[in-house]
Structure 1
């Protein structure tokens, strides 16, 4: 092979290492988002509707596997593996862009569902207080609209304070859980969208390089047969 194509091969190998890192980051970030509400049954309903954290974990795993496949194709100079890798990468890029566009269009609906999660947890706190406690501990908030929601009780639940053994007015969280929970998902949805666009752009570059490498491998083998 020519010096230029050999350089493409190693660039593609390095690119796949970067993609592997991106895949690992997606898995970690998706797991962190999911862990925030893993103990809440009411969140399962929202998760089935939007499935963002689970999708991120699955997508990160797919990127990691495809990147490994691309590394092998580049190092072994296999036309079949390189071409298969480029096709899979293209399909992955299209699916990722579709997910980003979907999140962009449905953002208001997504945030509304997140707000409903807190409403349901608050309305069912008499029978299942652990739902509301899970939100208050993880988000460091108190009550649906604020700590004054517990004024009628004369005391605050331990989950409303950083010191659960001594929860009093001076140490209680001031912010309400609904606005805190919605803002959390609002911030992270933007991170997900822009990260998805950046990764899709990187994948497109990798797709072009993989096609060039596969074409070069095929031409090189044809010339070698004569």
Structure 2
């Protein structure tokens, strides 16, 4: 029994080490997403565009914390800590699967909302805070649909070019901001969904092992008492 207990204990420890790495990757990915849209901080809908990156950072932090807790429970061979870790891991797995299912169901609506974000920025481009400039600099795009949206002005803004000092129709970014912005979220939402499924599967394996460890600890201590 002691040999089996040690085997499960070290497998669970290695599993939590893997989960900790996944948590760190989630934090890094969320931070990268957040930095890419940071230029929209003053935009009215910026909070909505930042919800996914913030959720990833929070989720990664929770995974990292729970993994640390699981490592301690495994090494100390504590039944209470192992069961508490199992419950937290199960709750986290359910919450994560709920988020993934939501992203599968609501993806089209979310992408349409991102289109409206760009439309509003375009409509308000003449206000004091030029939100289109933030989009064009951050996503290397020009205009709402494409650079030809500016042709009625006879010029394109400096934020539409890599070299702001020599910006013209010929050197402007050809892709429109609406298409670029929506493609950005479309691509990253797919990454988030499938990565979430993989991590949830890993968490389920960890849940099984943690339950086995807790059961082995309880049985081993009962038999040792006699």
TM-score interval w.r.t. the shorter chain?
over 0.9
Spell out the pairing of 1:1-226 with structure 2 (5 A cutoff).
1-40=1-40, 41-44=43-46, 46-47=48-49, 51-226=51-226
TM-score by length of 1: 0.95
Q: Secondary structure at the match of 2:39?
A: coil
Per-residue Cα deviation, 1:119-174 (whole angstroms, up to 9, x for no partner): 01110000045311111111111000110111122221111111122212332100
**Contact 2:20 2:63 survives alignment (8 Å):** yes
Q: Distance in 1 between matches of 2:131 and 2:193?
A: 28
Q: Distance in 2 between matches of 1:130 and 1:220?
A: 67
Q: Distance in 1 between matches of 2:23 and 2:143?
A: 37
Q: Distance in 2 between matches of 1:105 and 1:124?
A: 31
Q: Distance in 2 between matches of 1:216 and 1:151?
A: 73
Q: Distance in 2 between matches of 1:206 and 1:194?
A: 19
Per-residue Cα deviation, 1:194-214 (whole angstroms, up to 9, x for no partner): 000000000000000000001
TM-score by length of 2: 0.95
* Residue segments in structure 2 that go unaligned for 5+ positions in a row: none
Q: Secondary structure at the match of 2:45?
A: helix
**Contact 1:12 1:71 survives alignment (8 Å):** yes
For these two proteins, the number of residue pairs brought into alignment is 224
Instruction: Rate the CA distance shift 1:71–1:201 in 2: closer, same or farther, 3 A.
Output: same
How far 1:188 moved relative to its partner? 0.6
Q: What's the RMSD between the two structures over aligned residues?
A: 1.4
Q: Distance in 2 between matches of 1:84 and 1:143?
A: 53
**Contact 2:136 2:160 survives alignment (8 Å):** yes
**Contact 2:93 2:200 survives alignment (8 Å):** yes
